[in-house]
Structures are given as structure tokens and as C-alpha cells.
Amino acid sequence: MHDHINDPYVKAAKKDGYRARAAYKLKEIDEDEKLIHSGQLIVDLGCTPGSWGQYTRRKLAGKEGGGINGTIIGLDILPMEPIADMHFIQGDFREQEILDQLAEVLQGRKADLVLSDMAPNLSGIATADAARMEDLIDIAIEFSQHHLKPGGSLLVKCFKDMGFTQIYEKFKQEFKVVKQKKPKASRDKSSEIFLLGRGLKHPVQN
């Protein structure tokens, strides 16, 4: 608790109006990799509480008379406080009803960028947690194969101590360029790491 209160990113998030310190992880990766640009279509998987959506919205802002240059779609099983100009769909995106809602917003378009800050509820049993993490990554990759432009990018959160080797290999099988990113806002003692995949090797024609 003491670490959290004194965390500079927690303080910065309060000052900058972000819902969570996670915004600075995306900010650093974006500044490094130039992921988010005006006019893009961006899908945020597991978007609640919304700090990645807030950061993305700020990057796409600047349209005359308000609004954004681009489209942001957030999906999560959990509810989320609205974010201006962001389409939020609550539900499990493995279910057809939710995919139909997504298709309505997409209108045949493919995403430039898919983001996933999803993490499993941890049981403390290493093998079970690793399997859950891998399952979430599989879902994000499969989603990207269907909804990402062939030259688009997927950024996911994973953990070095949760089946990382297998996850990394999967990324290399599916993407032309794969990078590991450990932003400064990611706590030193955390095994959290982000994987960035660019350019699909096996896009699915919908």
C-alpha cells in the first residue's frame, strides 16, 4: 500500500486524469514504437477501467469542433465508465452476439492496432496461471487474425513467469516482427512484459 501511494506513476495518473497508472506503460511503448496515429481504427481488448482508452483518445484528438480523428472500440466483460468518442461493448468477445455488435461498429473495416492489457485472475498455482495467461494471448492472436489489417500491430501484456517462452514462440509464428517491451512504468519486481507483433503472417479472410 505504501509503495502504491508513493508510486510516481500513481501520482502522475491522478494529476493527468488517467484512471490507472497503466496509461504510462502504453504511452512509453507508443512513443518508442510510434504505434498510434491520427485516422487509425484501434481495438482495446479487456479495456476496463479505461486508462489505455483514455491515452488512445488523447492521441487521436484534435479534430476541429471536438471529437477524434479515428475510431476506438473497447471490449470487456466488466462494465466501464464511458470515455468520450470511444465505442464500448460489454461482453465476452468470444460470443457471437458480441462479435455481431463489433461487426456493426467495424462496418467491414479492419483494425490498425489491437491492444490487450488483459491478465487472468491468479490462483497462485503456477501451471494453472500460465495456462490461463496463454489462453488470453491465444484469444488476442485469434481476434487479430480476423480483425487486424495484414500490416497492423498487436500489443499484449504477458508475464515472464507465466508460460512466456511458448507465448513468445506463438508470436513469432504469427507475426513478421516481434519485440519485447518492458516500460519504466512496469514495476521492477513485476515479471510483467509486453509483446508487440507487427505484420500478420496468417490473416484470416472474413
What residue spans define the domains of the chain? 22-200
ω into residue 49 within 30 of 0, thus cis?
yes
Report CA-CA distances (Å) from 131 to 63, 137, 138, 162, 202: 43, 10, 10, 8, 23
| 50 in a labelled binding site | yes
For every residue of 131-143, DSSP letters joined together read HHHHHHHHHHHHH
* 117 marked as binding residue: yes
- Consecutive H or E run containing 25: helix 23-33
Q: Cα(112)–Cα(131) distance, rounded to whole angstroms?
A: 28
Please identify every residue annotated as catalytic.
Answer: 157
Contacts of 119 (CB under 8 A, 6+ apart): 133, 136, 157, 159
User: What fold characterizes domain 22-200?
Assistant: Rossmann fold (3.40.50)
Give the per-residue pLDDT at 205: 79
pLDDT, tens digit (0-9, with 9 covering 90-100), for 123-182: 889 899 999 999 999 999 999 999 999 999 999 999 999 999 999 999 999 999 999 999
Residue 155 — φ and ψ, nearest 5°? -115, 120
3 assigned ligand-binding residue: no
DSSP 81: -
Residue 76 annotated as part of some ligand binding site: yes
On whether the CB atoms of residues 186 and 145 are closer than 8 A, the answer is no
pTM (predicted TM-score):
0.94
Task: In whole angstroms, give the CA distance from residue 123 to residue 110.
Answer: 35
- 206: confidence class by pLDDT, cuts 50, 70, 90: low
Rounded CA gap, 22 and 29, in Å?
A: 11
Residue 77 pLDDT greater than 90, yes or no: yes
Could you read off the pLDDT of 98-114 as tens digits, one per residue? 999 999 999 999 999 99
